[in-house]
Structure 1
């Protein structure tokens, strides 16, 4: 399969490329580096990426900005960082990509643990994660030409724990291998409309 991985240079993106790269043709995409550049929060940039890459069999997104901070300090603008960056960015990949994905192809988005196991200063991320789950559930029943859509919701990755572990007290990091397998399940399997939890 020909697969675009958006956010390929991040911790999760690297895991995905390692898991699927030996079996599929991976096109690495990112805002500042990759085989193709894309700002997924900008629909025009997303459409340009698809035009450059051409038709594909699957799109995986492991990217998306969110704001972390005390709830009492949130403003409409800081809250919208997650809704525009993580939610609408990934929604843009789907809306602009349905015509570019092969029959029976798939989209795999990424949310995270915080909507089901919250941390302090993570309300914006929790809201974005929950919104992505709702989008996937609703979109799955309307996908054209047998296309599928899922979202992977991983806990804190082992590889990320040295940098972010202090934000996640009491959370047990998940193995990179298990996270990679969750994306393989979504892309190579047959499920749709699912939140694939990795804990």
Structure 2
């Protein structure tokens, strides 16, 4: 299969590319790196990238920014970081991907453990990740041509503990290669409307 991975240079993305690359042709897309460039917060850039790539069999998104901070200090602008990036960026990809996926193709988005297990300073992350999962469940019943859509909900990655460890005290981290298996399950499997919990 020909698979587009958006966010391929990130911690999750690298593991996904390694896992899926064992069996499939991988096309990498990123805002600053990759075979094709696109800022997924701009649907026009997403569309332009897919116009260059052409028809594909699956799309994986492992990208998205979030702001972490105390709720008492949060501003609307800080909430919009996650809403515009991790939520609408992924929705933008899903909307465009419908037109470029072959029949029976799949879309895999990324949420996160805090959708179900909130943490301090993570109100925006919980809100956005829960919204991604809601979108996946709803979109699954409307996609045409046998297209599938799922989400992977990773816990904090072992490789990211240096950056995110202070936010996830008491959480058991998972290795990127184990998290990548959930993306493989989504891409190579047959289910739709699922949230695969990689924790």
- TM value normalised by structure 1: 0.98
Structure 2 partner of 1:6: 6
Structure 1 partner of 2:44: 44
Task: Encode CA deviations 1:85-108: one digit per residue, 9 max, x unaligned.
Answer: 100000000111101000000000
| Cα distance in 2 for residues equivalent to 1:115 and 1:179 | 16
Structure 2 partner of 1:68: 68
| Cα distance in 2 for residues equivalent to 1:81 and 1:161 | 22
How far did residue 176 of structure 1 move? Answer: 2.0
The number of aligned residues is 199
User: Contact between 2:16 and 2:177, CA under 8 Å: does it hold in 1?
Assistant: no
Q: Equivalent residue of 1:84, what SS?
A: helix
Structure 1: unaligned runs, 5 residues or longer: none
How far did residue 79 of structure 1 move? Answer: 0.7
Range that drifts further, 124-133 or 65-74 = 65-74
- TM value normalised by structure 2: 0.98
Q: Equivalent residue of 1:23, what SS?
A: coil
| Cα distance in 2 for residues equivalent to 1:158 and 1:81 | 24
Structure 2 partner of 1:186: 186
Structure 2: unaligned runs, 5 residues or longer: none
Superposition pairs of residues 124-143 of structure 1, within 5 angstroms = 124-143=124-143
How far did residue 74 of structure 1 move? Answer: 1.1
| Cα distance in 1 for residues equivalent to 2:20 and 2:96 | 23
Task: Encode CA deviations 1:18-49: one digit per residue, 9 max, x unaligned.
Answer: 10112111011110000000100101000001
| Cα distance in 1 for residues equivalent to 2:64 and 2:118 | 18
Q: CA RMSD in A?
A: 0.8
How far did residue 177 of structure 1 move? Answer: 2.4
Structure 2 partner of 1:80: 80
| Cα distance in 2 for residues equivalent to 1:23 and 1:3 | 10
Q: Equivalent residue of 2:99, what SS?
A: coil
| Cα distance in 2 for residues equivalent to 1:75 and 1:161 | 26
